[in-house]
Amino acid sequence: MVNGQCTLSLPVGPNGICVPKDCKSLCHQKYKGGGRCTPEKKDECLCFICKRP
């Protein structure tokens, strides 16, 4: 069970990507490798920042 949230600093569309920041946390370790980040999916790591491709 992971209590993670994704706070979007930028609005991202279907092609939005998540870029991992350099930080140390259990959440970051679990989601290390990146993933798609969308406003509808808020189970991404807090250590992720969303940027347009």
C-alpha triplet 40, 12, 18: angle, nearest 5°: 85
Token pair listed for 51:
């940027």
- pLDDT for 48 equals 53
Q: What domain count does the chain have? A: 1
At 5 the pLDDT is 45
The residue segments making up the domain with residue 45 are 1-53
Per-residue pLDDT 10s for the chain (53 aa) are 333 444 444 444 455 555 555 445 555 555 554 444 444 554 444 455 555 54
Buried/exposed code over 22-41 (b: 16+ C-beta within 10 A; e: otherwise): eeeeebbeebeeeeebeeee
Sign of CA dihedral 41, 42, 48, 52: positive
**pTM across the whole model:** 0.20
pLDDT for position 32: 52
